[in-house]
Chain A
C-alpha cells in the first residue's frame, strides 16, 4: 500500500524558513516523479514543485528562487525547503506521487501538513 506522510509544517514569521518532509512507502520511491501541491483551506489546488527520478527540478513562478525541492532516495523521503516565507505561502502542503511512464499526472496524495506564515 502506498503511503505518503508529510511533516514539518508549523507557524513561522514572514521571512523565516521551514523544511517539509514527505516519507514515502509502498513503492519504488527512486523511480517516480514526486510533487508538492498546496491548498489554502477553502480554495483551489496549486502546483508548487516537482522533482523527477533523475532529480531534475521544476518550480511554480510563485516560489521559484525561494523554495527548493529535493529527494533522498536512500531514505525514501521528499523535501521542500522553504525560505523567505510570505503570508501568501500559508496553505496545507501535500506531497504526491506521479503515475510514472511519462503520464505527468498525480496518482497518490498525502494528507498534508499545514504551514502558517504570520507575524
Chain B
C-alpha cells in the first residue's frame, strides 16, 4: 500500500521561509506523480495552491512555490505571514490510476 509522507507539523517565524515536503514510503516522487498542494483552515474547503509540481493556482501569491527536491515534492513558502497558518496537504497521482493524499502538515507561524 502506497503511503505519502508529510511532516506532521512545522513552525516558521513571520517573514521566514519554510519548505514542506511530500515523499513516498517506497520510491521517489517525480513530476509523473503530478504533485499538488492544498491549504486548509478549520471548517473550510481546501484551497488549491500548486498543481503539476510547480504551477501556482490562480490568485495564489508568488511566495508559494512548488518543486521536486531530491526524491520528494516540496512546497516552499517565502516570507511567511500569519494567515499562512493552516494545514497543508499534498496529493500524488499514481500510475495505477489512483491518487493518494499525504497525512498533512500543520504549519504554525510564530
Contact = CB atoms under 8 A, between A and B. Distances in A.
A101 to B, nearest CB: 9
B51 A109 contact: no
Contact of A103 (B45, B52, B103): B52
Interface stretch (A8-16, A20-28, A43-51, A65-73): A43-51
Interface residues of A, number: 23
State the majority secondary structure of interface residues on A: strand
B100 interface: yes
Contacts of A106: 36, 38, 46, 48, 51, 91
Contacts, number: 64
For this complex, into which size category does the number of interface residues on chain B fall?
Answer: 20 to 34
B10 interface: no
B97 to A, nearest CB: 5
Given A45-B104, A47-B100, A47-B101, A107 B45 contact: no
Given A61-B1, A103-B34, A103-B52, A109 B98 contact: no
Nearest to B46: A109
B45 A94 contact: yes
Nearest to A62: B1
Interface of B: 1, 34, 36, 38, 40, 45-46, 48, 51-52, 55, 57, 87, 89, 91, 93, 97-104
8 contacts: A37-B101, A44-B87, A45-B40, A105-B34, A105-B51, A105-B91, A106-B38, A107-B51
